[in-house]
Chains A and B, each alone.
Chain A
């Protein structure tokens, strides 16, 4: 009889939207009505073409790397998944180049969903690999406290057996109707209860009891916990709780208010990723996610060495300063800009065509001619170079290196974040594709500028409430 190998976290990945807006810019914009409003640091801001799906894809890519690993299930945890009825996780899985023969699940309903999904997979001793993604594009009402606090980002955790980064020693949950905030279906924004009540009556009472129960069950002393992180709770609650829990000696994990903001269902996993980057093998990591009770889990850092290409430090470092609050409002749909008649174009796309070409569009799959070797996108029946029919085998361009071949900044075409940078992208493998170029920042795009590919929203069909995706190019750092 073969012994069951322990299941744990094998790899992780992080993605934060590149735009970072200073909270002082937000405060300044509202100063006419709220002169006492202040804001410190920056938060991660989605561009018009980023959402929980695209962020999750990028975190997943950071986690999986260039390796095409066998993944049997993809779980996407989010309270802001774009589709209420259309499996968001299956779009992510296809974009990650995973085969169709896998299980996909969306979970949400609470900012606890990320940690909850991870605990659920870690407690399942299935030996196959599973990808847990938590992703949020969080919106908040202008001038609300959440507008300052909420950020966007995604984290991926690969669960399975083998060389582990961390294992989960156990978890404990509490589920009670303590309504610190809520958002009904169809509503744009969260509604919050008073912060002092949340902290004193909720977080301070509910989390310690649950955490204590967990430590007791596992027979672990609070003093042995090396790292502690709390998410979903008012700022400063983590410090308060560390005293109540008796884990004062533990280092508090970053709350990521600087550079990111509260990323909801993904926040616990961001803290876990932070711990994986900082902790020594054998150290214990206690995570608590608050919300209608809490989930608390205890992890142990293992000896695994696998690191993502980006990780948290990389994600924090690749920010692009955004100074325009009006742009942020426009991206949020809060500013009804007159884009002129060019914006009136109907972006309806055939659903049948999308399915027919789903690998091409979502996984950026082109073809390589077996006759002349040319890599091409799209893969049409006759090779673009030699014209030989039916000679191509699939090849994805998603992880291929490229450079600018031609480029222009288009100020005429309707584009939600003008100018539209557009040009021919020359892949090192010979393929060439006309593409949008995004997150250009202050960089001067010119012939030869190195590029990499990112998964983004291609178009929003406002008439039919639909969104579709494709890949875009961005300057390679």
Chain B
């Protein structure tokens, strides 16, 4: 209360002193608190300050964003939403339906976002046609990472089909190497699952099953085959995988204990941080099959009162999509710029591959949202699918039972 009074008085004082333009204010709620991520946010903070804005940082760590969402809920219910919140995928529309998001179309149109963002990704940033969020980066989820020395020593190429992968895995297992480094956490099981769905079913099937939730696709023979492949993959994972964090799995690939890991391109950050060089120490490739699964981080803009806050919101949106921030941020984070017109000279080979595949997939209709990372479905539906995937992967459930549970679970989550 005291604070508000103080702010009000200083605002009056400033007006009296003849400051005509409201000073941009932004309170930003995010959960980028670990090493590389914190560095990336600091970049945005600095740019914001350089443009005359006042940034109020509101980092809420913990639970992969769960803690931040709880804080957000409390703030929204008390009628005091932050200016911008790290939100992604259908969660943006979910909050829009609660009637608390702002319209930033004026900035988006002035900056020509529609021309520089891939169409599929731009759709996620719109609420009933109006822009309500600003995209930050594109993470690719369907990556397979490999230890180059291990592959060469065993005469294995990067697999391009799941059959090739299985054959390679058998060979590695015979040589006493763990074929697949994996951490037994539900979201990691889901990550592997969706790459198998994409690989075995193709982009069209992925769309039907994990985006449109078509019951026929969910119970189809293709889905049974996907669960069969998951069971096969379970055999390529070491016995001690339960509860392992993803970065520990990445370390297993790094030190040659394991050959492959299926994980989004944040894993590249781990390799680079350990001083490994792409193409020399480790290899990156898309998981078997065609298509591109994206995981786009973004900031949703909440409805705030006061010219200074609105000005801050507009400035923030402009900077986030601006080319300079896109480059610096993504170099720090391991992802690629969401703008297609940013030069990639400073980026590594994996990022180039990612960018080329994104452009090609966007044209072929194979640019798809990741379900495991909350881009394709709302929390309740995605959670219902993950429950089945992880229950199947961690037990001896048959594929037929899993498919039935999948259809029932999805129906029950509506």
Chain B associates with chain A: no
